[in-house]
């Protein structure tokens, strides 16, 4: 029988992406246009610029995705689009286009929670990879990105339950802000990851916030402040002492990164114990962090837990993960009307 084809649309932040996914599992096309380079000169994502780039790039990228999948608009069976969380103006571009397509093609429409999308990146067959990994439930998922740090329980019936999250900065945001203080540019995660590989994670013992409380919540803004305080204390904010700071960058990066990773690992293991999970899924841009992957793999192994994470291209924002999550929701009976709105805190 013919495959079911979902169009996945993602415009929540600074990636414009369109994907065609067969049966919710197989990627036929996943076209991603990242605006990171354009936003870099401002030190972060500029919302209005992001919206306008989505607006001009959307239709050409949609054409590209269809061509890559070798299909036409009429072949689509379902339109899935990120409805939030994200930048409202950026989300509006994707949602408006999704509604226009659903109406003109007379096809069902499903609005997707962006974080459900990140989690579903774990259940896609990447290019040349077949078959797609089957979800192992119950599981816990740690979603760590520039905008989010959240723990979820993937219930045996396929439902999602939020277990905890950051009370202030997201983990990726902490990487970005600390990198800026260190004069390393944007985005900070990949640079800190690289520098930390040559540093001593114990040279600067930064605080591990909320490590010892019972919650599954996180806090990273104090850690950022601790790094700034250390720079001030040593006089390393003085441009004349840049060389001295540079000599200590690997140790500073390693110390900061280890403080983030220790808390992420401890809380994820605690969450797995709490819900009786045997499987841990990692997702989001920070899931690319090598120390996090290594330490979480070691902690999971010690607990008898399986750890899985998507390939790097599916860790960051993309339409395929939205198609996968939208298809799963559609299978469970979810349908949205043409009055679908963006939502900064949508239902899972």
| 147 touching ligand KG4, by CB under 6 A | yes
DSSP state of 162: E
DSSP letter string over 269-281? HHHHHHHT-SEEE
As measured in angstroms, the least distance from the Cβ of 14 to ligand KG4 is 8
Q: Which of 310, 208, 314 is nearest to 265 (CA)?
A: 208
- Which residues does 129 contact at the CB level (< 8 Å), separation at least 6? none
Q: How many CA within 13 A on the CB side of residue 9?
A: 32
How many Å from the N-terminal Cα to the C-terminal Cα in the chain?
A: 31
Site string for ligand KG4, 8-47 (x = CB under 6 A): -----x----------------------------------
As measured in angstroms, the least distance from the Cβ of 144 to ligand KG4 is 8
Site string for Zn ion, 292-331 (x = CB under 5 A): -------------------------x--------------
Nearer Cβ to ligand KG4 (176/251): 176
Handedness of CA 85, 10, 297, 132 (dihedral sign): positive
Stretch in the footprint of ligand KG4 (CB under 6 A) among 143-151, 157-165, 266-274, 340-348: 143-151
Residue 138 contact, options Zn ion, ligand KG4, none, Cβ 5-8 Å cut-off depending on partner type: none
- The CA distance from 291 to 177, in Å, is 19
- Which residues does 268 contact at the CB level (< 8 Å), separation at least 6? 140, 142, 151, 280, 296, 299
Stretch in the footprint of ligand KG4 (CB under 6 A) among 120-128, 168-176, 204-212, 319-327: 168-176
Judged by CB under 6 A, the chain residues 178 through 197 that form the site for ligand KG4 are 187-190, 193
> Is 317 a known ligand-binding residue?
yes
Nearer Cβ to ligand KG4 (93/101): 93
| 145 touching ligand KG4, by CB under 6 A | yes
Q: What is the dihedral of CA 299, 301, 304, 305, to 10 degrees?
A: 70
43 three-class SS: coil
Nearer Cβ to Zn ion (173/317): 317
CB 269 within 8 A of CB 215: no
- The CA distance from 219 to 206, in Å, is 13
- The CA distance from 220 to 241, in Å, is 27
Nearer Cβ to ligand KG4 (150/217): 150
How many residues at the interface with ligand KG4, by CB under 6 A?
19
- The CA distance from 343 to 201, in Å, is 40
- Which residues does 284 contact at the CB level (< 8 Å), separation at least 6? 118, 143, 144, 145, 148, 172, 315, 316
Judged by CB under 6 A, the chain residues 300 through 339 that form the site for ligand KG4 are 316-317
Judged by CB under 5 A, the chain residues 130 through 159 that form the site for Zn ion are 145
Exposed/middle/buried for residue 260 (C-beta within 10 Å: 0-12, 13-18, 19+)? buried
| Binding residue for ligand KG4, selected from 94, 126, 284, 310, defined by CB under 6 A | 284
> Is 118 a known ligand-binding residue?
yes
| Binding residue for ligand KG4, selected from 288, 324, 340, 342, defined by CB under 6 A | 288
Nearer Cβ to Zn ion (102/322): 322
| 289 touching ligand KG4, by CB under 6 A | yes
Residue 289 contact, options ligand KG4, Zn ion, none, Cβ 5-8 Å cut-off depending on partner type: ligand KG4
Which residues carry a binding-site annotation for substrate?
A: 143-147, 176, 189, 193, 289
Q: Give the interface with ligand KG4 as residue ranges (CB under 6 A).
A: 13, 145-147, 172, 175-176, 187-190, 193, 284-286, 288-289, 316-317
Annotated binding site: 114, 118, 143-147, 176, 189, 193, 289, 317
């Amino acid at each position: 029988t013919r495959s079911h084809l979902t169009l996945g649309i993602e415009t929540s932040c600074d990636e414009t992406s369109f994907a065609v996914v067969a049966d919710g599992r197989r990627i036929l096309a996943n076209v991603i246009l990242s605006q990171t380079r354009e936003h870099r000169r401002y030190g972060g994502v500029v919302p209005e610029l992001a919206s306008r780039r989505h607006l001009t790039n959307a239709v050409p990228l949609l054409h590209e995705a269809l061509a890559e999948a070798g299909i036409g608009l009429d072949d689509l069976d379902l339109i899935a689009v990120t409805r939030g969380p994200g930048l409202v103006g950026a989300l509006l571009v994707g949602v408006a286009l999704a509604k226009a397509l659903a109406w003109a093609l007379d096809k069902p429409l499903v609005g997707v929670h962006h974080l459900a999308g990140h989690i579903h990146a774990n259940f896609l067959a990447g290019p040349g990879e077949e078959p797609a990994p089957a979800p192992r439930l119950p599981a816990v998922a740690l979603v760590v990105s520039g905008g989010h740090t959240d723990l979820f329980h993937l219930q045996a019936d396929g439902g999602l339950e939020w277990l905890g999250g950051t009370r202030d900065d997201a983990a990726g945001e902490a990487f970005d802000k600390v990198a800026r203080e260190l004069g390393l540019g944007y985005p900070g995660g990949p640079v800190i990851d690289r520098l930390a590989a040559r540093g001593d994670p114990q040279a600067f013992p930064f605080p591990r916030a909320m490590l010892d409380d019972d919650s599954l919540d996180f806090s990273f803004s104090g850690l950022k402040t601790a790094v700034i305080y250390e720079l001030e204390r040593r006089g390393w904010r003085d441009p004349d002492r840049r060389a001295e700071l540079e000599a200590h960058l690997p140790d500073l990066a390693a110390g900061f990164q280890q403080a983030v990773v220790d808390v992420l690992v401890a809380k994820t293991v605690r969450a797995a114990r709490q819900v009786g999970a045997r499987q841990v899924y990692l997702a989001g841009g920070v899931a690319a962090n090598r120390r996090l992957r290594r330490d979480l793999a070691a902690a999971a192994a010690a607990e008898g837990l399986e750890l899985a994470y998507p390939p790097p291209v599916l860790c960051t924002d993309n339409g395929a993960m939205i198609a996968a999550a939208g298809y799963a929701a559609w299978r469970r009976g979810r349908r949205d009307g043409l009055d679908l709105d963006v939502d900064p805190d949508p239902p899972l």
